[in-house]
Each structure stands twice: as C-alpha cells, then as structure tokens.
Structure 1
C-alpha cells in the first residue's frame, strides 16, 4: 500500500508515483521532553508572506541542464510497468506504465508476452488502480488533476473507447474501487474529504443515473480492504495509527458495522484483509501485536479462528499484501522484509506454506490472483532490471514475465552492484542500509562523492530495487547509500516504533551514524558527502543539515517538512489525525518546535536544492517556501524548483528530467565535481 498497488509503494510522507491513502505511521504518545535546541524556536511565518518565487536556470546553468537532461532521458526511457490486474478469463493484463511520459493504462495479451502492449488511456492526468469489470469489457481506474489526490473514478472500454467519469460530483479523496463479480453492476469504494479525518463507504451503480449511496461513515480514518462477491459485506480498516488498527465488518445493505479484530484492549497492526471466494472465511494479515507478520483465517459467521500462518524464516517481516482467488485452493502473500520482498504461496484451508515465488533478489508489489486461482500477477524490479509485470504459477512458484519489452535506452549502461549490510548507531541499534556502486569498482582506487538518500514515511523502507534516481546519480559519479533508520518497516514492530514522539531525535542520530560510517569507508570523499530525501526523508535531510552541519557538504530536500507546527495546520485532516500520535500533539507547540528544522535553520550553511509540487495536499508548498526564504535571506546557496502540475509527487517525465538535470548540475557546482 492494497489500492491495487501503486507503481511505487507509498507511505503518508513518502514521495511516490501513486496516491490513494497509504500505510499510516506508527503509534506513539508524546509529551516527554527532547534534547534542548541550541537556538530559540523560530516563529512560523504568517500566511500573508505568500509563495516564494522558484528559480529559473539561465545561461551556462541552463545549457548544462540541457546536456544532463539528454543523459536523464536515457534512463527515464527505461520505463516501468506495474499495478497489474488480470481479466476474468485470464487472457489479458491491464497495467500502468510511464513509457509515454505520464502513467497511463496499457493492455497486454497473457499468451503473447512478445506482442507490443496497447495503450488504453490517452489522458493528460496520471492514472492508477486499474481493475477489470466483471464482464471483462471495460476497465475502471482512478485519476486526479495535477496530482492533487482528489481522485475520481473512471471507466474505459478494453478497446480504448467510451472513456467516462463515474464520479463527477463531490470532490473527494477516493480509494481504489471494488467491482464484485456477483453484483456486476455495482461499485463499492471508500473516500473522504481532504480536510476530514473520517471514512465514508459508498455503493454506486455502474449503469449510471443513480447517485452514489453513502452507506457508512466512521469517525476514525480508514479505508476498505475488501468487499465480498455479492457486495453485501465489506472489511474496513479503521486506523488510529500504523500499529493500532481495528478491522470492521460493514453490512453494505443496512449500514451496520461491528469490530471483529482484535479483541478489545489489544493493539495490533493490520496490513491486509480479504474474503475467501465463497465468503465463508475472512483472512487477516496482522502482527498480532508482536514483532512479525502472521496470517489468520476466521470463520466469517462465528469469527472463530480456523488457521494461522507465521513465517519461519522472516520473523520480523510484515505481510503487506494478500491475494485470494475466487477459485482454487491456494493464496499468495507478499512479505515486506524491509530491504527486499518475498512472495509465499499458501494452502488456503490450512495456511500451510507450499512454495515461494521464484523471483530474483529485489522488491515488488501489486499482488493479484487470476480468477481461476492458477496464477498470481505482480510487478517486480531489481537494481539492474526496471520494474515489470510477472506471472507466478500457483503450483510451482515459477515466475515468467507477462511482458517482454526491450529497454533499448539502457544499452551500454553499466550494471550496479547492490549490497545490504548493517551498521551500529549511537546506542548499539543496528541500522540496515543498501549500498549501490558501479559494478567492478576497485576498493580504495579513488574517493567518490556519496549521496545518502533517506526514505519517506516514517513508516516505510528502502528496499533493493530499480530506482531511476539511483541509476542516474551513480551514472554521474556518485555512490548511493540508502539507510533504513529506526522507524522503518519490515524490521519488526519495536524497530518501527523506535522513533516515536520524544524518540524522534534518535532517528536523527541514526543519520549521523550513517554519515560517520560512510566517512570511514575507503571509497568516500569526505568533502563531497550529500544528504537527500523526499517527504519525511526531506525532513530528515533538513534535520541532518541543521544538527550535523559540518558533516554534510550539500543537501537535496524534496517536499520535506520544515516546521511541524505549520505542517499540522496545512496538511489533510486524515494525516493530521494520525500524526498527532506519530509525531506529537498539535497542542504541544514547544515540542513540535523542538523537533523542527525551523528551530535550528541558522545552522545550515551548505548548498541546498529544494523541490516542491505546487498542488501537494500532504506537505504544502509553503513548507518548502519557508526553508528557501530563510536560506535566501542569509545568502546560503539554494536552488528552488516548483513543479506546477505535481503534488506530493515526481510523476511527469518532464518533471523527473528537469529535477535530475538541475539537482545534478547543482551538486556539480556545489561540490566542484568533474562532469561525467
């Protein structure tokens, strides 16, 4: 998150190419003190100050950007495919791809993986969460405007004709719709207003004419996990925080609802839930309040537990996705092990493990079953293989590409060598991290600039995978390090909660430990150490630059939080509600100031590149405006890029191209790098 699995998995504050409500952050309570800041809190600027003008490169800078943009086109041209969904007869696969500059829907023939995919939508806005209608004649999907996350539901014929908006009325953040095959003319989805922290459930006719029917409203943030085949019952995740979730069974006819898991007084995380094909079993992927993920099977009538699965080897991994076919005796789960993904195949009645998908070391998502239960589809990538759609045999675990499309632009691009290791932090906590180097790099032969890239979240992780940014920066002379600092998912409940509230500064100390480790390696140039990150990672970038100002020589901040006080006032109601527990209560202004970069912004003296999306509903552009305004006032080198047609995203080809070119040229100048 599975929202039909976005091309890039996202968390609340994770820059990504997708957008339905993502996994929410971990629970905490706050009020305890934190280490005192060395400066008095900066008063948040008044809204009347208005937006800060972005920079427009000219002259030599613009010329260099043009050269780097040509380099970027080579790697961006290695498009990614993902978010698959199989037709009812299993003959077609619909998926999203960014091959034409913005994620659109494409159709492939399962029996003809060598045949070129056919473009299904030709819109000016991104698309996501495609799903076939029950009769297989059309595809339903989500789309927003300018990445503002006000998703509407659309339908298009499998021949690309008849594009129709199904929800033209109220502006809402809608989640991926469910199309139950036992009620083929019915659409079921959850939604909310941007400013609300409530959850709504709608039932709508696909025939048109009748307005959507609001059948249930919950005062707590939530979204639908599943709908049964007859559109009579739904499973809704009500979340207080990432580690405190309640599963609710909603009667879609009467609007009545009841909590079914966990038992009162118990606190658990729930990542996925589903009905069996016959509706007699409810499957729940949870941590049971412990360290690792388990899958539970309950009798749908009595709610008695029938079976239980816990992975014997990946004991701290979370079960993030669950694929239950309408027919067949097997189901599949995807485990998030933090720095990689693993897909297990289970016997549906006993939950006994009967196999594993034979996929290379890497990461994936979008796990969905075929209707006959004979196979599962998902997208997968490795550091040297762009994300693509694969089919996994339910009996043997054998995986084959659903599409065989050449990435000709990668010809001649050297391979990356990715290693996974752990390093100790200040308190002995082991911090996992990924290191990406050009293959064949001779140890100690040269000192290289290093870019440390921090993931968003906080409840997220950096797995080993294909990354356009990693490939581009390494192609231009950098070694890239991705730390999974405390608070990251996939390494157990305790590790994920280790940065909660008053422990936020421990995660900042992890960043310092990562920097110190990098500086101790034989390949790192201490004069060219860069800290980078998007969203929550952008916040951690600003915290690293303010708390360890002599370690880092430059920074890249993408849509990062600058001041938790102003952030709380400008973000969506749903995120604000959950972050009261993850970050700290909005009422405790002193605490929020103490963990904000704004409090120590005068410590930043190194060059900083800042990116913002003009339509960002999560981290408002005003957060980026504030850091840029402060640095410009003090004459600290800063370059500000604002994308007018982006939100909490870096989606459009032209945006990605410009960002990669400008940020790399900026680092070349700031670090006095040799041009690659």
Structure 2
C-alpha cells in the first residue's frame, strides 16, 4: 500500500462573520424526536449532539429533567425504551463499525447489562420489545437470524436463513411476529411472513418479482391482529391493512401523488400518513372507519419523524432548507415548539426546484451574479433522496459562494418504483446520465461556470462521484468522494452481508456471476481516465464501504503520478457522529474545492 498525501484541514474558511455562522449550524444542539415508553409516556429517549458527539439522552417529562445516558468516543445512535420504561436499550458497536449487540441500562442510572446474552453479535436486523417478550434480528456473514426471548429466559432462534431478512414487528398480544425476508433472492423487493412465537408459519404474502412488501406495524390494540403493510403494486409505495387472523386485506385508496408511509394512531381508529412528493413530506390523518383523509396543519417545511401521544397530541420534527429542524407538538391548543435545547442554528437560503425532463433537482444559490462555482452533491443510498430539509453542509457551501445542486437521479426514492428500480443491471452509469443532464441544464442557464463544476457525495454519492471522475472527466474540475465504493469487487468481498444481498439484487448476481456488470460499474476501472483532482474521505472501521477497496483505488491514483489527489482518513465507520470531525470534513471539502477550481479558468478549457 502506498503512502497517500493527506488533505490539509484549514483553520478557518472565512475571515468574516460567515465563519461563526457556518460552524454554528453544526454545533447548534440538534435532537431527534423524543420517543416515549408505551406504559410510562413521561419517560422519553432521544439522540442529541449536545455533548459534541451524538449520544443517547433521556427526558423525564414529569420533572422536565434531561440526562445524557451514553458517553462513547465514537457516539451512540440507536436506542429504544421497553413499554415499562424501566430500562433503556441501546446498540453497542465498536468504533462505529455497526457490529455488536444490544445493552440495557436502568432508567434511574446504573451499570449496563446484556439482556440477551445468548444472541450472537451481528449487524442489527430489527428489534421489538413487548411486555413479556423480545424479538431481535442479527445479520452476519452467514445470513439473518431472528431470536425470541421471554423476559428473564434464554433467547431461542425463531427464524434463520442465509438471505437478508429483518424483524417487522411483534403483535400487541405478543402471539405473532412479522418478518420481512428475501428467500426468493431479491432483498430489494422483500416478502412477508407471519410466525407464531413458537416459530410456526401463520401466513405468507408476496406480490411477485419487482414488487416489495414492507411490514410497518401491528395494530396497537390488544386482540387486533391487523398488520399495516407497505406495497408497490401500482408502481409506487402505497399502503394496505392485512388482517392476519382472517388472512384478508384492505388497500388504502388515497388520492395522493408520490409515495406513502404510515403508522397507527394509539387506538387504531386511524393511521398517520407521511406523503412524500417532489422532495417534500407532509402529514395526513386517515380515518379507517370513514375513509376520510385530512391534512394536518403542521408547520411549513418538510416533515421528518412523527408519532401520536396517548392523549392525541401529534409530536413531529419539521425543517426546510432555509430553517433548521425543530421538535414540535400539534394539539387542540395549537402548534408550537415542544422542546428546544440551546439556541437554534442560523437560517440559510431556500432551495428552488429544477426539472430536467423527469429528473428532479434542488438548487440553492448564493448572493451575487453567476456564473458561479457549483457543487453537484449526490445523495447516498442509492434508495434515498435529497429533500427540502435543513442541511448545515449545503449551507456551508452556499456561504463559500457555491451554487449547490442536489440531483434525485434514477435510483432515488419518492418518484415511484420504476424510477427507483431503473438502475437495476446498470448501476452507476444510469444515475450519472441524469447528473450530466442536470449539469448541462444548469450550465446552459448561465448559473454554473462550466470550468468550476465539482461533483461531491458520501456513501453511494461518493461512489458516483468517483465513477464520474473516470467516466465524465470533461465535466468536473474537482471530485470529492466520502466513504465511497471505489473498487466494487473488493467492496463486495469485504462489506456486510446485508449489502452483499442488496448488491446481488441490484447487479443481477455476485461478481463471480456477472463480472462484466461489476467491472463497468467500478470506479477503479476508469482510474486512468481521471483528469480532475480527487479528494477521498474514508472511515477506518467502515463496514459498508470498507477501507481495503478504497486503498486499492488510492494506490491506483498514486501509480498515475500525474494527478493531484488527497486523502482524509478518520477513526470511525460510515461517517462520524463527532461534531468536531464533521466540521473538519466540511472544511476539508470546501478548501479542496476552492483550491481545485482556482487552478482552472475558462481560457484553459
């Protein structure tokens, strides 16, 4: 392995008030929506960066006391409360590698214990804690195992398969367990199975090739064995109720364009609907008795997490590109901020919609007159989407004078199943065709300087950025890939089994079965064509985009000898939960892009 040039981290990006402002957007206290214990709703758990690292925090609503529970160097993100709220369960991995087990700590404080010592370490594959039973999924190189345990008893294997699977939910009476599985070989379009707690199959549901089913939640009413399910029978994500006991189903006929998700109200008389369309998400209430659909008067912006309290209060998070996220409560008394820890982050600029054919993009523009240096930032996933939500990173690029263009390329969610699945068999190059079309449109409008276009992304977005470097070398003045796939064959060999299963479904097989598909999709294939300076940011403990395959790509860059490139390595997994580390990443990226784009002028094209 070669020694690679380390990317410098600038002490500051600006010599004026912008320096404090961009940093404040990251250091301002952020928190997830507090989730409560079902039988003790005054006890809540949330994640927050209050300490400078994302950790698990507790909120006792009765006393309004907030306490930090975890204090691990790499941070802690996943946590939940059992119904009684007497303990807090959180997932313990090593240095952000996502491989580990659940631990429990008393609500009142005390030492952590391992409540399920019989369950093997693995990547998390779902958890549901009932009053008497716990169901937990783990994923390893051998596949997925679902375990079940009665309180205080040893865990037993409920389900095991070499293909990807996960816990979908435990019924309220704790007699049934729903799982999603891909025994048919396609983890991107899972099937459903409902088991008794002794492991007997009660019911099966599969809509056939290319049509996934996702268990959302069992009814919260004891004795009601209806399961809320997401389906895609008409080319988009929709909803149905499956009465498992009767094996009958009712599709929810909702006249809303775009994608739908949902959860039950506490009495199961209605469902709370998330409606995502054109990069915005809003909330509705759907009455199951009358079929009446009502939009809820939530705050302007894009809705994130939401749930309904036992008293009927809707608690949710909302933000927009211009305004930071807030945790809010909507009740008969009105809509207001529920809880705010510290001063909110400074505002930023709004985004505007850009449609290039069927490709949707969001554009944020700095003050001044174009053409501007422009960063085309590509989201991860690929099954995700950029939305009109607050982003400190987007705001930092705008402060630095860059237009920011976020492209919801084919493969993104929120635009229907055909759009999401269009990358099957040809991942990478399909998405980049959409990015190229948007880049041409933004340059053609006079907004973007064609000589100062930067492509940037993390995870799948980082992969696309490195692939763009070699397959679209004429378009880019600089390339930034955070925790990317860089050598797809080596990545497949080293990544977690859940992602290997995903890749087999996406590519049509393993690298041994379809080697040409992987070769064409791998950034390493095109390293000799790269012309623009490259920055790679990589986590040493990343299970999703492992470090060996990144080193292979960097070694190939080093062998070029004619191409400037830089590397920023950090001691974490697939990104960092440490605010100071995130600040270093953003400063490094913007400084790199500035230096790279200064080297190129229109006359040199």
Alignment TM-score, normalising by the size of structure 1: 0.81
C-alpha separation in 2, matches of 1:125 and 1:477: 32
**Deviations 1:554-609 (Å, cap 9, x if unpaired)?**
01101211232222212122211221121242222122112222222111111111
C-alpha separation in 1, matches of 2:188 and 2:123: 23
**Contact kept? 1:155, 1:163, Cα under 8 Å:** yes
Query: What is the deviation of 1:53?
Result: 4.2
SS in 2 for 1:579: helix
Query: What is the deviation of 1:619?
Result: 1.2
SS in 1 for 2:536: strand
C-alpha separation in 2, matches of 1:143 and 1:57: 31
C-alpha separation in 1, matches of 2:567 and 2:518: 25
- Choose from 338, 350, 361 the match for 1:433: 361
Distance change in 2, residues 1:262/1:364 (3 Å) = same
Query: What is the deviation of 1:228?
Result: 1.3
C-alpha separation in 2, matches of 1:360 and 1:260: 41
Pairwise mapping of residues 194-593 of structure 1 onto structure 2 (< 5 A)? Answer: 195-196=141-142, 198-207=143-152, 210-239=153-182, 240-241=185-186, 244-252=189-197, 254-262=198-206, 265=208, 267-276=210-219, 277-305=221-249, 307-314=250-257, 316-319=258-261, 322-327=262-267, 329-337=269-277, 339-349=279-289, 351-356=291-296, 358-365=298-305, 367-370=306-309, 372=310, 374-393=312-331, 399-407=335-343, 410=345, 413=346, 415-424=348-357, 430-438=358-366, 441=367, 445-502=369-426, 504-585=428-509, 586=511, 587-593=513-519
C-alpha separation in 1, matches of 2:428 and 2:290: 41
Query: What is the deviation of 1:486?
Result: 0.9
C-alpha separation in 1, matches of 2:467 and 2:351: 27
Query: What is the deviation of 1:258?
Result: 4.8
Query: What is the deviation of 1:496?
Result: 1.1
- Choose from 137, 153, 177 the match for 1:190: 137
C-alpha separation in 2, matches of 1:592 and 1:535: 17
C-alpha separation in 1, matches of 2:29 and 2:443: 34
Distance change in 2, residues 1:664/1:219 (3 Å) = same
Query: What is the deviation of 1:672?
Result: 2.1
C-alpha separation in 1, matches of 2:271 and 2:105: 29
Per the alignment, residue 567 of structure 2 pairs with 640
C-alpha separation in 2, matches of 1:647 and 1:62: 23
C-alpha separation in 2, matches of 1:530 and 1:269: 36
Distance change in 2, residues 1:311/1:64 (3 Å) = same
C-alpha separation in 2, matches of 1:496 and 1:288: 11
C-alpha separation in 1, matches of 2:298 and 2:393: 27
Query: What is the deviation of 1:110?
Result: 4.9
SS in 1 for 2:252: strand
* Number of aligned positions between the proteins: 590
Mean Cα displacement is larger for which, 280-289 or 598-607? 280-289
Query: What is the deviation of 1:666?
Result: 1.4
C-alpha separation in 2, matches of 1:398 and 1:295: 29
Distance change in 2, residues 1:206/1:448 (3 Å) = farther
Q: Larger relative CO (CA 8 A, sep 6+): 1 or 2?
A: 1
Per the alignment, residue 25 of structure 1 pairs with none
**Deviations 1:277-315 (Å, cap 9, x if unpaired)?**
22424233333422233221222311112x33133132x
RMSD: 2.8
SS in 1 for 2:174: coil
Distance change in 2, residues 1:162/1:176 (3 Å) = farther
| 5+ long unaligned stretches in structure 1 | 1-49, 425-429
Per the alignment, residue 35 of structure 1 pairs with none
Query: What is the deviation of 1:492?
Result: 0.7
**Contact kept? 1:78, 1:386, Cα under 8 Å:** no
C-alpha separation in 1, matches of 2:474 and 2:194: 54
**Contact kept? 1:285, 1:293, Cα under 8 Å:** no
| 1:74 maps to 2:18 | no
Per the alignment, residue 631 of structure 1 pairs with 557
Distance change in 2, residues 1:436/1:397 (3 Å) = farther
SS in 2 for 1:469: helix
Query: What is the deviation of 1:502?
Result: 3.5
C-alpha separation in 1, matches of 2:564 and 2:405: 24
Alignment TM-score, normalising by the size of structure 2: 0.90
Distance change in 2, residues 1:382/1:600 (3 Å) = same
**Contact kept? 1:189, 1:201, Cα under 8 Å:** yes
**Deviations 1:240-289 (Å, cap 9, x if unpaired)?**
4465221110211x2122552235x4652234422112242423333342
